[in-house]
């Protein structure tokens, strides 16, 4: 005879207020996907005239963005009486471009009116960045391999960005044989200050930086989607060649994201992106690395590969340029002396490491058969040969 212990099923009690809040946010998400402006406004507090006007404008602002999904994940609801505050995550995908959603922290306030819960406020969570449509009316330009979303921009400029990105994608694919999405979403905010708001960081740190790429290093298929964010002020000062280099460089970061990790030093990730961007350009080393050229000719040959700190924005512009140029020349050295396949092999090997310590050493030994000290000495000789 089999004896079973008596047991009872215990489940957490359902919070009716939390469930009502979720239903309200689900209705809000559904309105976006159905392009239903009236339904979007219907979940807002009827008494909140200013909120309804602002949210109506926001709905109009993102009307041209081709969302493939839009949903809210509620992490917690605090409520008392007829008031509630929901800690939520907005998750959305751009149709045809994102394999995983962009995730944005939101704090949503609600109030109960006649037995129904309405949104009374919706704001970014602590430290969360703005979304592009919160800066104005978004214009979307589709390329064959790109989607450019801009606010306050000349449509001609957006078309040119899409065309340049369309050229960057196959150039990157040719140099980086690993599988990647092969599509890029580019955001162009109205100003440098707005760029900072999109990135959730002080704008001053991006002054003079033409573009940056957002994304999570080492991201797999479930990692948040990448975005190339253009600084409209700095990018506009570049010539056509410079703009092409910038977009190709940033596209490399999108393509290599899954193979870039905390173990990857900046000289390798930024140097590889520049190597791809200048590959086949016909530009000389003196043209590509003018700051490092001047330093080498002045007898100031760097003793070591640039460390991560050397790539910090907002510091000495000359030092930053020399760090990028040094990384590019390190990758050029590998490609010329050992071959392009070995260069991509080094990149993948370093990115696969669990920790920074020993990652570069192991990759150089495995792919090139040299120590870090040997490689550094050869890199310094390369600087003398190419720039001296």
8 located within any domain: no
Residue 223 has pLDDT above 80, yes or no: no
pTM, full prediction: 0.91
Q: Which of 203, 225, 260 is the last residue of a domain?
A: 260
My answer on whether 275 and 306 are in the same domain is: yes
Say which residues have a Cβ less than 8 Å from residue 116's Cβ, sequence separation at least 6: 20
2 located within any domain: no
Specify the pLDDT at position 219.
56
Specify the pLDDT at position 3.
35
- Residue with structure tokens 């791809």? 276
Specify the pLDDT at position 4.
33
Tell me how far apart the alpha carbons of residues 263 and 286 are, in angstroms, rounded to a whole number: 30
CA distances from residue 154 to 65, 145, 166, 239, 243 in whole angstroms, order as listed:
17, 21, 19, 17, 16
Q: What is the pLDDT of residues 248-272, one digit of tens each?
A: 999 999 999 999 999 999 999 999 9
Tell me how far apart the alpha carbons of residues 387 and 322 are, in angstroms, rounded to a whole number: 12
Specify the pLDDT at position 45.
96
My answer on whether 383 and 281 are in the same domain is: yes
Tell me how far apart the alpha carbons of residues 351 and 345 are, in angstroms, rounded to a whole number: 10
Mean of pLDDT values over 20-30 = 97
Specify the pLDDT at position 2.
34
Mean of pLDDT values over 167-183 = 95
At 300, give phi and psi (nearest 5°).
-100, 70
| One-character DSSP codes across 274-335 | HHHHHTTS---HHHH-HHHHHHHHTT---SSPPPGGGG-TTS-HHHHHHHHHHHHHHHHHHH
Specify the pLDDT at position 217.
65
The total of structural domains in the chain comes to: 3
My answer on whether 153 and 46 are in the same domain is: no
Q: Give the pLDDT band of residue 225 (cuts 50, 70, 90).
A: confident
Specify the pLDDT at position 198.
94
CB-based contact 333:368 (threshold 8 Å)? no
Say which residues have a Cβ less than 8 Å from residue 295's Cβ, sequence separation at least 6: 301, 302, 322
My answer on whether 137 and 112 are in the same domain is: no
Domain CATH number, residue 220? 3.30.2010.30
Tell me how far apart the alpha carbons of residues 4 and 239 are, in angstroms, rounded to a whole number: 79
CA distances from residue 37 to 27, 110, 350, 375 in whole angstroms, order as listed:
12, 19, 49, 60
Residue 307 has pLDDT above 90, yes or no: yes
Tell me how far apart the alpha carbons of residues 68 and 97 are, in angstroms, rounded to a whole number: 9
Tell me how far apart the alpha carbons of residues 240 and 210 are, in angstroms, rounded to a whole number: 13
3 located within any domain: no
My answer on whether 286 and 379 are in the same domain is: yes
Domain that holds residue 384: 261-388
My answer on whether 253 and 312 are in the same domain is: no
288 located within any domain: yes
Geometric angle at alpha carbon 212, from 207 and 214, rounded to 5° = 135
Specify the pLDDT at position 53.
97
Domain CATH number, residue 44? 3.10.450.50
3-class DSSP state for residue 91?
strand
Question: HSE on the CB side for 259, CA within 13 Å?
Answer: 20
My answer on whether 387 and 271 are in the same domain is: yes
Specify the pLDDT at position 6.
39
180 located within any domain: yes
11 located within any domain: no
My answer on whether 94 and 147 are in the same domain is: no
Specify the pLDDT at position 370.
98
Specify the pLDDT at position 316.
81
Is beta strand 67-80 parallel, antiparallel or unpaired with respect to 83-94? Answer: antiparallel
- Residue with structure tokens 């919070």? 15
* Angle of the 372-387 helix axis to the 359-367 helix axis, nearest 10: 70
- Whose CA is closest to 72, among 1, 142, 21? 21
Q: Give the pLDDT band of residue 12 (cuts 50, 70, 90).
A: low
Q: At 340, list the tokens.
A: 């392009």
Residue 314 has pLDDT above 80, yes or no: no
Mean of pLDDT values over 41-69 = 97
Q: What is the pLDDT of residues 333-345, one digit of tens each?
A: 999 999 999 999 9
Measured in whole angstroms, the distance separating CA 314 from the mean position of its chain's CA atoms is 19
My answer on whether 254 and 148 are in the same domain is: yes
My answer on whether 244 and 271 are in the same domain is: no
Specify the pLDDT at position 205.
86
Q: Mean pLDDT over all residues of the chain?
A: 93
Specify the pLDDT at position 375.
98
Judged on CB neighbours under 10 Å (0-12, 13-18, 19+), 16 is exposed
Q: Which of 204, 238, 260 is the last residue of a domain?
A: 260
Percent above pLDDT 90 for the chain: 85
Q: What is the pLDDT of residues 97-147, one digit of tens each?
A: 998 899 999 999 999 999 999 999 999 998 899 999 999 999 999 999 999
Question: HSE on the CB side for 368, CA within 13 Å?
Answer: 30
Specify the pLDDT at position 313.
78
β partners of residue 67: 94
Percent above pLDDT 70 for the chain: 94
My answer on whether 249 and 334 are in the same domain is: no
3-state secondary structure 238-260: CCHHHHHHHHHHHHHHHHHHHHC
The alpha carbon torsion through 316, 319, 323, 328 (nearest 10 deg) reads 110
Specify the pLDDT at position 135.
97
Q: Which of 76, 97, 128 is the last residue of a domain?
A: 128
My answer on whether 182 and 270 are in the same domain is: no
Q: What is the pLDDT of residues 269-300, one digit of tens each?
A: 999 999 999 998 999 999 999 999 999 999 99
Residue 163 has pLDDT above 70, yes or no: yes
Specify the pLDDT at position 348.
97
Residue 7 has pLDDT above 60, yes or no: no
């Amino acid at each position: 005879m089999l004896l079973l212990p008596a047991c009872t099923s215990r489940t957490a009690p359902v919070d009716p207020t939390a469930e009502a809040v979720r239903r309200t946010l689900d209705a809000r998400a559904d309105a976006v996907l159905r392009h239903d402006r009236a339904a979007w406004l219907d979940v807002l507090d009827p008494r909140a005239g200013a909120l309804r006007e602002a949210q109506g404008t926001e709905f109009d602002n993102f009307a041209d963005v081709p969302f493939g999904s839009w949903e809210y994940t509620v992490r917690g609801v605090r409520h008392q009486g007829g008031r509630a505050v929901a800690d939520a995550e907005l998750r959305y995908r751009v149709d045809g471009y994102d394999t995983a959603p962009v995730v944005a922290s939101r704090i949503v306030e609600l109030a109960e009116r006649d037995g129904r819960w309405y949104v009374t406020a919706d704001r970014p969570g602590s430290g969360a960045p703005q979304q592009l449509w919160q800066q104005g009316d978004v214009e979307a330009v589709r390329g064959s391999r790109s989607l450019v979303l801009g606010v306050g921009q000349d449509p001609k400029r957006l078309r040119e960005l899409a065309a340049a990105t369309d050229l960057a994608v196959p150039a990157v694919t040719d140099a980086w044989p690993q599988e990647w999405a092969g599509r890029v979403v580019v955001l162009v905010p109205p100003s440098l200050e707005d760029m900072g708001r999109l990135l959730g960081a002080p704008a001053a740190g991006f002054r003079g930086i033409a573009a940056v790429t957002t994304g999570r290093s080492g991201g797999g298929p479930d990692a948040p989607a990448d975005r190339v964010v253009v600084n409209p002020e700095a990018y506009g000062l570049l010539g056509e060649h410079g703009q092409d280099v910038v977009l190709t460089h940033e596209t490399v970061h999108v393509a290599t994201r899954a193979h870039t990790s905390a173990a990857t030093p900046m000289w390798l990730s930024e140097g590889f992106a520049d190597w791809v961007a200048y590959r086949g350009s016909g530009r000389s080393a003196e043209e590509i690395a003018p700051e490092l050229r001047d330093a080498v000719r002045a007898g100031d040959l760097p003793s070591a590969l640039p460390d991560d700190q050397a790539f910090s924005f907002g510091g000495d512009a000359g030092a930053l340029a020399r760090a990028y140029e040094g990384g590019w020349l390190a990758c050029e050295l590998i490609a010329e002396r050992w071959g392009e396949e070995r260069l991509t092999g080094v990149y993948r090997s370093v990115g696969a490491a669990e920790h920074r310590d020993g990652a570069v050493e192991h990759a150089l030994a495995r792919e090139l058969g040299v120590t870090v000290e040997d490689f550094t000495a050869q890199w310094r000789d390369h600087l003398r040969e190419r720039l001296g």
